[in-house]
Amino acid sequence: MASPTVAELNGTWDYATLPTNVRLGRGVYLERRDSFARIRSTVPDALVLGDDVQVLTWTEFSIEPDASLVVGDRAVLVGAVFMCAHRIEVGPDVVISYGVTIADCDFHPVEPVARRQDAMAVVPGGDPSQRAPIETAPVVIGPGVKIGIGAIILKGVTIGAGAQVAPGSVVTRSVPEGAIVAGNPASPAPQP
């Protein structure tokens, strides 16, 4: 792949060149064009970004063929890698810091026989029709949530409004509104 141009890295590229199923609000800032290179979804609203959303250089949207992702107004996505197989919702005024991963799916079965079949199906020359059915569960990140550096959010998690996820946390269960969670697996942190 050719090296990106300067414009493709500093947000001055032509956003109209994005696929038509990427819908942009007013005043969005999309820094690196390649953040959008792995959108494989064909649904009409594969990726919806609200007004004044910022998508910075470390962010990646990987959106599977039937999946969709919506981001609320004024959200700041610094370094979020979204692995979206079905549905991820990010509320307004959310801040997602550097090195964060958010996935609504485990992508492969745990059970060994099914996993071996899946491994064979995904290799070069494999038959993708033989892939195991994958379980997905939407991820919902509520308004004003802050997600710290390097955190990982896994499938089926809802993070309530105003909650904070401490840096380095691995969030496997839903987080109540206003809570602060930390650790792996994440649990309520002592209030400061």
Kindly list the distances between the CA atom of residue 50 and the CA atoms of 30, 47, 55, 75, 92, in Å, as whole numbers in the listed order.
12, 10, 11, 8, 8
Q: Report, in Å, the least distance between residue 80 CB and another protein.
A: 11
Q: Report, in Å, the least distance between residue 146 CB and another protein.
A: 5
Q: Which is nearer to another protein, 59 or 136 (CB)?
A: 59
Residue reference for tokens 């981001």:
71
Q: Which is nearer to another protein, 58 or 82 (CB)?
A: 58
Catalytic residue at 108? yes
Q: For the chain, list the strands marked E by DSSP.
A: 22-24, 29-30, 38-39, 47-49, 54-55, 60-63, 68-71, 76-77, 80-84, 87-90, 95-96, 100-103, 139-141, 146-147, 152-153, 158-159, 164-165, 170-171, 180-182, 187-188
Sites of contact with another protein (CB under 8 A) = 3, 6, 9-10, 56-58, 76, 78-79, 95, 97-99, 146-150, 164, 166-168, 183-184
Q: Which is nearer to another protein, 136 or 164 (CB)?
A: 164
Q: Report, in Å, the least distance between residue 96 CB and another protein.
A: 9
**Active-site position among 38, 108, 121, 187:** 108
Q: Report, in Å, the least distance between residue 131 CB and another protein.
A: 30
Evaluate whether 142 touches 92 at the Cβ level (below 8 Å): no
Which active-site residues does the annotation give? Answer: 108
